[in-house]
Structure 1
Amino acid sequence: MTDSTPPPQVWHTVRARDARALIRFLVDVIGFEETAVYGDGDVVHHAQLSWPAGGGIMLGSVRDNPDDQWPIPPGTGGAYVVTDDIDAIFERAKAAGAQIVTEPHHTDYGSYDFALRDAEGNRWSFGTYRGEPRKA
């Protein structure tokens, strides 16, 4: 690890039928940062999209290969993204035609959340809940 390499984190991963379109949605509409995209033409071998507050997502095109070491069917993913900008992300997603699963609402555990499905069918929940402090 170098001084510029982030500390270990958890990264969500998905496969997509149209990985380049999913990348554009997550970057242009939601607010992820395109950190790296490796591929040929319409095929994305690996992409890293960083979340400005930390962590991110790694994704690639679905593989039609029985020896695939990461066989995640498109549309089966779900992720919770922590942000303080719920209303702005919701408005951008709605304006872009995203399928809204739940409108912004306050939860009984103190979060302000909403959820959507991307064009691949993955569920994305956005909320202000940062989790509970870790036990000592």
Structure 2
Amino acid sequence: MTAPAPQVWPTLRATDAPALIRFLVEAFGFIEVAVMAEGDTVHHAELAWPLGGGLMLGSARPADGDRWPLRPGTFGAYVVCDDVDALFARAVAAGATVGSEPAGTDYGSRECLLLDPEGNHWSFGTYRGEPRP
């Protein structure tokens, strides 16, 4: 059975959206699905997560009355991954800032915290959430 397409899309704004997209792909392993841009201004981008889901992002545009005025660097997400240690090493090599190194939790997950160049917080872990009823 094929999983349904994501129906909830976390979103964020970036000061330098093209650079953030490159970082998220290179450091964390997101997959670039769509980028609609004019020059360095990204109007809409979609990045897929290999295990399912994704996110949308765009350039912060306060000068033109941005209809989605999220401050760059204020985003946070928990992302499920299979190999936290490998992702951590890849991200640090690509320039991610370490919030916390990989460690086990009391609920059985292995997790780490990384910050992207815009200051967004990314928690990666093996915990997949509780089963749906």
The answer to whether the aligner puts 1:126 opposite 2:124 as a matched pair is yes
**TM-score, with structure 2 as normaliser:** 0.92
- Partner amino acid for 1:130? R
Local SS of the residue matching 1:53: coil
The counterpart of 2:90, out of the listed 72, 89, 92, is 92
Q: Which residues of structure 1 form unaligned runs of 5+?
A: none
- Partner amino acid for 1:57? L
- Partner amino acid for 1:60? G
Q: Which residue of 2 aligns with 1:117?
A: 115
Listed one character per residue, the Cα deviations across residues 1-47 of structure 1 (whole Å, up to 9, x for unaligned) are: xxx99434322110000000100011112100000000111110000
Local SS of the residue matching 1:11: coil
The answer to whether the aligner puts 1:38 opposite 2:36 as a matched pair is yes
The farther-off stretch of 92-101 and 13-22 is 92-101
Listed one character per residue, the Cα deviations across residues 97-136 of structure 1 (whole Å, up to 9, x for unaligned) are: 211001000011111000111110100000001001123x
Q: Which residue of 2 aligns with 1:108?
A: 106
Deviation of residue 94 (structure 1)? 1.1
Q: Distance in 1 between matches of 2:68 and 2:130?
A: 31
- Partner amino acid for 1:111? S
The answer as to whether partners of 2:79 and 2:124 remain within 8 angstroms in 1 is yes
Q: Which residues of structure 2 form unaligned runs of 5+?
A: none
Q: Distance in 1 between matches of 2:3 and 2:52?
A: 12
Aligned pairs, number: 132
The answer as to whether partners of 2:16 and 2:40 remain within 8 angstroms in 1 is yes
Q: Distance in 2 between matches of 1:67 and 1:21?
A: 23
Listed one character per residue, the Cα deviations across residues 62-112 of structure 1 (whole Å, up to 9, x for unaligned) are: 011464221100000001110102111100111122110010000111110
- Partner amino acid for 2:22? R
- Partner amino acid for 1:133? P
Local SS of the residue matching 1:87: helix
Q: Distance in 2 between matches of 1:76 and 1:117?
A: 11
